Each structure stands twice: as C-alpha cells, then as structure tokens.
Amino acid sequence: MLLGAGLALGLSASLSGWAEESADANADSGDETIKVGVLHSLSGTMAISETTLKDTMLMLIEQQNEEGGLLGKQLEAVVVDPASDWPLFAEKARQLLEQDKVAAVFGCWTSVSRKSVLPVFEELDGLLFYPVQYEGEESSENVFYTGAAPNQQAIPAVDYLKDELGVERWVLAGTDYVYPRTTNKILEAYLKQNGVAEEDIMINYTPFSHSDWQSIVAEIKKFGSEGKKTAVVSTINGDANVPFYKELANQDISSEDIPVIAFSVGEEELSGIDTAPLVGHLAAWNYFMSVPTDANDEFIETWHAFIGNPDRVTNDPMEAHKIGFDLWVKAVEKAGTTDPMKVEEAIVGLTTDNLSGGTAEMLPNHHITKPVLIGEIQDDGQFAIVYQTEAVPGDAWSDYLEGSKDLVGDWTDPIQCGNYNTKTEECLGSEEAAE
C-alpha cells in the first residue's frame, strides 16, 4: 500500500509538473500576440472618467510594442465596454479571461465595479490592475491596487483641512455606493478620534448622475453658517459633479466660505466645462498634470502625440495605469512568463518611477507607495499644488476601524493572506489563504 501510494504521489507530481509547464507554454507560445484586457466604461455615467483610461492603455501598449513588445511578442489590446453597468463588468471580465485569454486586465473605476469583477478574477486566477483611489478594506491576491488607499488620500486631505485651514465642521458628501460609504465611515471614525463632535459631522449620499442639488446645497450652507469653519469632503463620482459645483456658485458659496476637497474630480472631469464655479476649491490626488518633473513633461508630450490633440489633459488614474503597466511588464520579464500566478509572485518588491518624482514600489499587500498631493483648482482647469508629501505606503486596512486596525495584507511567504490578524496570528480569509 505504501509503495502504491508513493507511485501515485510521484505520478501525480509528474502530471502536475507537466500541466504547469503546459499552461506556461500555452500562455507564452500558443498565440502570436500577448493579449491585454482593457475593462473601462465607454458609455454611461462613468464614461466621462473612464474613456480616457482606455486610451491611456492603448498608448502604453503601443509604446511597449514600439520598444520590441514583451517576451519576443507584440501586445494586443482587447477592449470591452461594460457601459457603467456593474453586473456587466463581471460578464465582460469573464469574457476577457475565458474567451479572449488575456494575460492581465487593466480596468474598473468605481469600487462597485471592482467588487463585481473580484469573484471572477479569483475564480479564474486572473490579474486585475485597478487604477483609481478606493476605500481600502480589501487585499486580494488577484488585484493590484495602483490607486490610493484612504491613508494615501482621504486621511491626508482631512489633515490638511484641519491643520492648514482650521476646519472644525465637516460635510461628508458622496455618491451612494461602497467607496463613499466606506471612506466616510473611516473618516467619521478618524474625526471623532481627533475630538470632533458628532453634531459637527454631516453625511449625505446621492445617486449616480444626481442633478438636483438645490436643497442639499442649502443644507450645507446652513450647516456651515453656525460660526465654525466648515468644509466639504467630496466623494461624489462621475457627471453629478458638474451640477453640484454649479449649485454651490448659484447659492454664493465660495471656496473661501466652504471649501470643497474632492477625491474624484481631476483634470479630465474639469476639461470642457465652465470651471469658474470651482476656482479655489481643492482636490486630493497622487498626481497632477501640473507637476513640474521631466518625466511628467515627457508623458504629457507622448500623450498629446498619441491622442492627436494638444489640449487633452492627463490625470491621476492615467499615471496609476502607467505605473501598473510598467510593473506588470517588469514582472513578466522577471518571471519569464505571462502565467498570472508567477507574475503575481514576481511583482512584489518591483519598483518604477512615478511622474510626481520618486519611486512607486509594489508592496506585499498589492498596494503601492505614492506621494499625496493637494491641488487648488485654477480657472484653466489645472491645479496649483499647495501640499505634497513623500511617498506613503498604501495600507489595505484602516487603522481607525475596530474590525480592521489589527489586520494586514501580505501575499508573500509565509503569511500569504489578505487579511492577516497580527494579534491572533490568524488569516481571516478562506481556508486556502490560511494554509
């Protein structure tokens, strides 16, 4: 019986090794090109933000091909349109992985779209590079979070308002979905831990594409008229931002009266609209087009040449896609294969230059290091940078929430867990992750 078991184990190991080699061969030599998935809304409410990210990926892929491709092959973009429809994101993700056989996917904007596709990537062992700021409270082996975690955007933004502008009352205004609600839960906890009374915090949510802001802005105006410096921390997403800022101006609320600091308004959202109502208001990102670095100047020049329009802007999620793409290319070269799990192992610890100066490093929790920048909106739709930090490591789990403060994500040996409890030394995820 022991001999039989040994033979069975040996045969199983041999077959397993053969299957793995066969999978590598299929991934790297079965096709004439290496396919790269692009999963961004080209229609619907989020097209205002996501279409540019599709174009960014096409530019990066074209650049890589001009430099000789990857592993001796040209890259091929496979573009799909999930149309700002969250269930459709999951369908399109499955199509990219199962039918199109892409090596990696770059995409999503809203957290609800990322949450929609996450089970698909985990089931099919695909890789998603997610380029937008998000609420944290997540670390997946299959996702690389190249946008900001809350400690790289939301918390520093509140600190700036509190310490530099003397803000004492807080309006947390967001679109009604997971990113604003979780971010505001973290911010509310953070503010209260810093001595802010509950009556000095106002929280409001509106649907996607909300357009009737008159009564809400009136409430904000009243809330800010009680003798304490008040600010709006905005997690309003998509095209609802345009009527929101217009209504602030209609009710004579200036940036000096009640400043707004936004986490989802960048150069792309400001282009093509009247920026007069927004001048002086703020945004917190990790990159602005106005950053004065040689690398940024070169990126802007390349973008203008690719898109054929010298008036097109660049923005933070574009830089996040560039960072993610650069790190993926380096990981594939290091691993010598596009096999997702080997790339996932190879990518941790790799670095690439960011456009704001300094270096982005992929951390064991699949987040990256990023500087934090605060910008003041100008009448030309650009940002004057008023504050910048050194590179901040992305934290997947908030230090200010009871269920999260003891957790870390670490996808390297020996932990290999996205939600490892440092006190109990246990993985709170699946049995597979715990092993």
CA distances in angstroms from 166 to 5, 12, 190, 256, 430, listed in the order given: 72, 66, 16, 12, 45
What domains can you pick out in the chain, each with its CATH number?
A: 13-147+293-370 (3.40.50.2300)
Determine the pLDDT at residue 346.
98
pTM tops 0.85, yes or no: yes
Q: Is 248 exposed, middle or buried (0-12, 13-18, 19+ CB in 10 A)?
A: buried
Determine the pLDDT at residue 332.
98
Determine the pLDDT at residue 306.
98
Determine the pLDDT at residue 239.
83
Determine the pLDDT at residue 49.
86
Q: Are 341 and 125 in contact (CB under 8 A)?
A: yes
Mean pLDDT, 10 residues at a time, over the chain (435 residues)?
34 40 44 95 91 97 98 98 97 98 97 96 98 95 97 97 97 94 96 97 96 97 96 92 93 95 90 87 97 97 97 96 98 98 98 94 98 96 95 96 94 96 87 35
The 8-class DSSP code of residue 221 comes to H
Determine the pLDDT at residue 272.
75
Determine the pLDDT at residue 30.
59
**In the numeric block, which tokens belong to residue 269?**
């959202």
Give the integer Cα–Cα distance in Å for 307 and 209.
28
**Bridge partners (DSSP) listed for residue 194:** none
Give the integer Cα–Cα distance in Å for 131 and 324.
8
Q: Is the Cα dihedral 144, 134, 50, 121 positive or negative?
A: positive
